[in-house]
Structure 1
Amino acid sequence: MYTTKSRFKSCNYDVNQTISWNMLSHCQSEEILMTALELLERSGAEVASKKARDVFAKNGCWVDGEMVRFPSAKIEWALRASPSRLTVCGQNGARAMLLETENVHFGLGGGAEYVVDRASGEPRHIVLQDVADAARLADRLGNVEFVTFPGLPSDKPEKTAALHALGTVLKYTAKPVVMPVCCAKMAEAAVAMAALAAGGIEKLQQNPRIILRVECAEPRLHSENALEAVIYAAENRIPFIYDNELAAGYTAPASTAGTLVLALANTLVAVLLAQLVSEGTPVIAGGRLTVADEKNCMLPYGAPEAGLLSAGFANLMRYLRVPSMCVGGITDAAASDSQAGVELAIGLLSASLAGANMIVGGGMLESGKQYSHATLAMSDESMSLMYRIMRSFEVDEDRLACGVYDTVEPGGSYLGEEHTGLFFKSEQFWPSLFTRKRISDWMADGGKSLGQRAAEYAESVLTQPEAFTVDESIAAAIADVAAKADKAF
């Protein structure tokens, strides 16, 4: 057998340190990019913001009414100018998330209308206390790395409910925060609140803790409010997600490749605008992509096609060297049951292996319409399993165990070996909520399902004192921004 290994080293030694899913080849990614570039140059997109159209016209794009066509060279420049990596920080300024290459970070989902009540287990409308509970739980869960609010609190004014929710999240978690904004005015208020928590706008820019999320829910149609929020973020050097919400066969072509072309075309418009306003603005490409279930009149984020679309989108962004956010861990089930466990695990695995830098969806039931503390705890446990798979295993002199084999007789046990003591904890996944008990022991403990154990665990966390609270003077100043917005909006 021919080998390149010498006494001292291996020649051109390749290491597969992290498992990854290369769904798209380099050539396939290039073909999707070329198609999107041709689409934007030939047909363009509708740009509803005059301010954005003026920026495009001034920089060599072709404007005809609200339709704008984009020279490919401009977009290729913007892709080079847009940062390929972004470091996001926690409350203390410490590096919390490195959005680069295949790094994966998991966080809470958002956009729900209902919450599963802690006491009754029945769904009801979300109130501000539920936002506080979700932030406190997420702050305690070790695999939840960024936080948003699960839904708009119904006990606050509709136009400013998101700002009240943001203030609550900033009060009860030290982790990075994703803030959905519907316009530049809301983005400005959100950044003001985050700057108070960070100690000033300059500190927030240097150590970004907040990421604005701007929604793009229409194919090749960019709303005035969305684009002016992008302009605000770029002018103030605040990272933002341009979040495509497309459904294959409904708001996008029925084919996966066609949906990816359209999602990429939408994303490229935002990337170009941000770089034209301020070169180097951090942009995260968001993909909330799924299919349309016409039978049930809903968008199923637990569907396998949603996982394929997320994986394809993340692969495409890796090819373009643009940080990405995808959906993972949202289930179509209405309760924290077996279906929920299967769907959230498959969704998380697809997005993780594809290298999505941010995976959003923790705690979401019924395709994102309900939020559940128990489901968030289940998602956290599932994500710890994903991280173990992603970590794979190392091959080095110690782990090859070369000095161990001769000390154990054929047919013997390695249990008592020093080598086993060194590695058994780090090499194995040790569950917290999942059970490996024999059925007799499981029955003796009450025979509880995963959903029941997760609900009890979440309740035990929420009955403990807060792990983090922001200084009361800062919390009051943040609340004052939301109160002023109540009058101004």
Structure 2
Amino acid sequence: MVMNTGFKSQCLPTYRVLTQDQINTLHCATLELLETVGVKIMHEEAVQMMADAGCRVKKDNIVQIPNYLVEEAIISAPSRITIYNRLGKAAMHLEGNKTYFGMGTDLVKTYDLKTGELRESQLRDVANAARIADYLEEIDFTGSYALPFDSPTNLAYIDSFKAQLENCVKPIFYTAAGMEDMAVIHDMAAAVMGGNEALREKPIHIHYAEPLTPLMHSSGAIDKLFFCADNGSPVNYTPGMMSGASAPVTLAGAVTVGNAEALSGVVMHQLRAKGAPIISGFGMSTLDMKAGTCIYGCPEYRLALSACSDLYHYYGIPMWGTAGVSDANCIDQQAGMEWAMSLLMAGLDGANLIHDIAYMGQGLVGSPAALVMNAEIISYVRRVIKGFDIDAEHIGMDVIKSVGPQGGFLTTDQTMKFFKDEHWQPHLSNRTAPDIWAKMGSKTWGQNATQKALDILNSHQAVPLDREVQESLDAMREKAFIDLDGKQFES
């Protein structure tokens, strides 16, 4: 890590994995892969669009993409995307090195706050996570976090989106099973914002879809990609690879494949609607060759995401990332280590949309207490990446001289003026002496986080929806229950 002096003598930590020559090498390898091997596109309309744009179409819908189309798409994709909350206020500016942290969408197991039981996730877990995210200022956007098994067939994503609208004002990161439930979700967001044009002007949600590794785009994924492009709705279209299984075992090879998948998605999206908002990038877990499991908290994932950040800062396209993730199956020391390492690296990377905070168990397990703990780690990370000022006032030579040898700084005006800004203050972490801590019950950080989560759920409510909007959402959900329950979607 090096320290660079920047604006107003502010010292900011900077971190990158790739040199400019290495960025060029990976970019050129990606272009070669797309032009000579190509990607399989399982969507006839998309194949024809690509052919009309100058791509070569081979047997079995293998589409080879010329370099210039990739370069044109990189240029036309917006370098800045503003996301709003449901009150109409700008909440996230996805650009440059600005970082925003939030939840993922698909945890099948949840630790019950009151009983400690690990059980199937339910819709109340989605609502609870949204309320906690609404309260915690360190969490910038919400996701369903849990995947509710008590929702009717094919309404899980609709119910989750509605629960988030009802329990949180922050932007929503969401998934959908197919076009049918995605259209309902979009209509719900439009109802909150006052119509489709108002939603296009002030988007409050980001859809997550992904290609198939290696080098494939499914019909369902492209349908959703095109729906977002047509409606000017931000889409996060990024592959999720497993190095050693669905992607090369070498990090350089996996990065090249993932980048080709991501950029081919950008090409299709921008050909469909030039300038439409897209968030790109790639993620890369690894296959543990001993356990046979998909590893989420490994250092290789961090390195790949750092390389992704370097590439997409070079491209000028807002990028996705993951952090606050652990392979531990409960809140323990391993979870704390892996959460902290991933959150710190993501913050230093400057990835824009960082999701999946407070994930455990290879992306299968969640806990409301884990959300509170990750919020505290994010606060710590933000203090690190904030750096510090090195101007005359902050050096305070006159103060140092006036105190002199063997003096004290506690009562100086400088201390009173700057201590809150210069010194990070945790909400939950222990800073008491051992004997005082023992007298206070010897509570662990995890126990404090559990109590804090319970306190939030007992006392906090998000700003309510207008009555007319709430009634509209209820009616949409009931219509979806009639229309979609039991229907099979194409993903």
Would you call these one fold, judging by a TM-score over 0.5?
A: yes
Separation in structure 1 between the aligned mates of residue 152 and residue 69 of structure 2, nearest angstrom: 42
1:100-139 mapped onto 2 (5 Å cutoff): 100-139=95-134
Candidates 233, 236, 242, aligned match of 2:237: 242
Q: Does 1:164 align with 2:151?
A: no
1:281 aligns with 2:276: yes
- Paired position in structure 1 for 2:191: 196
Find the aligned partners of 2:168 and 2:29 in 1 and give their Cα distance: 42
- Are 1:413 and 2:387 matched, yes or no? no
Moved over 6 A (4+): 11-14
**In structure 2, do the counterparts of structure 1 residues 459 and 217 end up closer, same or farther at CA, with 3 Å as the change threshold?**
farther
- Could you tell me how far apart the structure 2 residues matched to 1:31 and 1:415 are? 54
Whether 1:309 and 2:311 are equivalent positions in the alignment is no
What is the SS of the residue equivalent to 1:159?
coil
Q: 1:180 to 1:207 in 2, by over 3 A?
A: same
Superimposed CA distance per residue, residues 88-126 of structure 1 (whole angstroms, 9 cap, x where no aligned partner): 111111111111111111101321101111221111111
- What amino acid maps onto 2:146 in structure 1? G
Aligned to 1:377: 372
Q: Is the 8 A contact 1:177 1:209 kept in 2?
A: yes
Task: Give secondary structure in 2 for the equivalent of 1:412.
Answer: coil
Question: Which residue in 2 is equivalent to 1:53?
Answer: 47
- Please tell me whether the aligned partners of residues 51 and 228 of structure 1 are also in contact (alpha carbons under 8 angstroms): no
Structure 1 stretch 259-268 or stretch 478-487: which is displaced more?
478-487
In structure 2, runs of 5+ residues without a counterpart are 485-491
Query: What one-letter code is carried by the residue in structure 1 that aligns with 2:356?
Result: G
8 Å Cα contact 1:287/1:327 also seen in 2: no
Give the match for residue 28 of structure 2: 34
Is the Cα–Cα contact under 8 Å of residues 120 and 149 in structure 2 kept in the other structure?
A: yes
2:138 partner SS: coil
SS in structure 1 of the partner of residue 175 of structure 2: strand
Cα distance in 2, alignment partners of residues 312 and 285 from structure 1: 13
Aligned pair 1:430/2:412, yes or no? no
Partner residue in 2 for 1:327: 322
Partner of 1:44: 38
Contact kept? 1:187, 1:233, Cα under 8 Å: no
Displacement of 1:17 in angstroms is 4.5
In the alignment, what sits opposite 2:487?
A: none
Distance 1:248 1:171 in 2: 39
Matched residue, 2:252: 257
SS at match of 2:126: helix
CA distance in 2, matches of 1:193, 1:82: 26
Pick from 446, 466, 469 the counterpart of residue 474 of structure 1: 469
**Count of aligned positions:** 479
Query: Residue in 2 aligned with 1:186?
Result: 181
SS, match of residue 211 in structure 1: strand
Alignment partner, residue 456 of structure 2: 461
User: What is the percentage of aligned positions where both structures have the same residue?
Assistant: 30
C-alpha distance in 2, partners of 1:16/1:186?
48
Provide the secondary structure at the position in 2 that maps to 1:229. helix
| Distance in 1 (alpha carbons) for counterparts of 2:209 and 2:12 | 31
1:182–1:214 contact (8 Å) kept in structure 2: no
Partner deviation per Cα, 1:279-304 (whole Å, 9 max, x = no partner):
10111014332111132222121112
Question: In structure 2, the residue corresponding to 1:367 is in which secondary structure?
Answer: coil
Query: d(CA) in 2 for partners of 1:184 and 1:17?
Result: 47
1:19 aligns with 2:13: yes
Give distance in 2, aligned partners of 1:266 and 1:467: 38
Q: Is the 8 A contact 1:172 1:470 kept in 2?
A: no
> Structure 1 counterpart of 2:376, which letter?
E
Partners in 1 of 2:103 and 2:154 — Cα distance?
Answer: 22
Q: Please, which moves more after superposition, 230-239 or 466-475?
A: 466-475
Shift of 1:443: 1.0
Question: What letter is aligned with 1:170?
Answer: L
Give the drift of 1:16: 5.9
Q: Deviations over 1:293-330 (max 9, x none)?
A: 13222212111212112212122111111111111001
Q: Does 1:367 pair with 2:362?
A: yes
- CA-atom RMSD, angstroms? 1.6
**Equivalent residue, structure 2, for 1:174:** 169
- In structure 2, give the amino acid aligned to 1:429: W
Is contact 1:85-1:98 (8 Å) kept?
yes
SS at match of 1:359: strand
Aligned-pair distance for 1:406? 2.2
Residues 90 and 209, structure 1, Cα contact 8 Å, conserved in 2: yes
Amino acid at match of 1:255: T
Match of 1:211 among 192, 206, 221: 206
Cα distance in 1, alignment partners of residues 120 and 77 from structure 2: 40
Instruction: Indicate which of 207, 216, 219 corresponds to 1:221.
Output: 216
Aligned-partner SS, 2:238: strand
- 8 Å contact from structure 2 (residues 208, 236) kept in 1: yes
Q: Determine whether 1:99 maps to 2:105.
A: no
Asked if the contact 1:32–1:261 (Cα under 8 Å) also holds between the matched residues in 2, the reply is: yes
Q: What secondary structure sits across from 1:41 in the alignment? A: helix
What code does the residue aligned with 1:77 have? E
Work out the CA distance in 2 between the residues paired with 1:210 and 1:166. 10
Q: Is residue 113–residue 369 contact of structure 2 (8 Å, CA) maintained in 1? A: no
Please report how far the alpha carbon of residue 470 of structure 1 lies from its aligned counterpart in structure 2 after TM superposition.
1.5
3-state secondary structure, aligned to 2:246? coil
> Which digits, 9 at most, give the CA deviation of each residue in 1:126-165, with x for residues without a partner?
1111111110011001100000101321111232211111
**TM-score, normalised by the number of residues in structure 1:** 0.95
Pairwise CA distance, 1:468: 2.4
Contact persistence 1:301–1:331 (CA under 8 A): yes
Contact 2:203 2:233 in 1 (8 A): yes
- The TM-score normalised by the length of structure 2 is 0.94
Question: Quick one: distance in 2 between partners of 1:251 and 1:132?
Answer: 34
- Within the candidate set 82, 95, 99, 1:87 is matched to 82
2:385 maps to a residue whose letter is M
Q: In 2, Cα distance between the equivalents of 1:362 and 1:132?
A: 16
Name the CA shift for 1:12/1:167 in 2 (closer, same or farther; >3 Å): closer
Q: Which runs of 5+ in 1 are unaligned?
A: 1-10
Cα deviations by residue, 1:375-405 (Å, 9 ceiling, x for unpaired):
1100000000000001001122311213212
Of the three residues 437, 440, 449, the one matched with 1:442 is 437
CA distance in 2, matches of 1:253, 1:369: 24
Q: 3-state DSSP class of the match of 1:24? A: coil
Specify the SS of the correspondent of 1:316. Answer: helix
Q: Deviations over 1:18-57 (max 9, x none)?
A: 3221111111111111101110010100000112112111
Which residue of 1 is the match for residue 488 of structure 2?
none
Q: Do the aligned partners of 2:212 and 2:218 also contact (CA within 8 Å) in 1? A: no
The whole-number CA distance in structure 2 between the counterparts of 1:425 and 1:16 is 17
CA distance in structure 2 between the aligned counterparts of 1:16 and 1:426, rounded to whole angstroms: 14
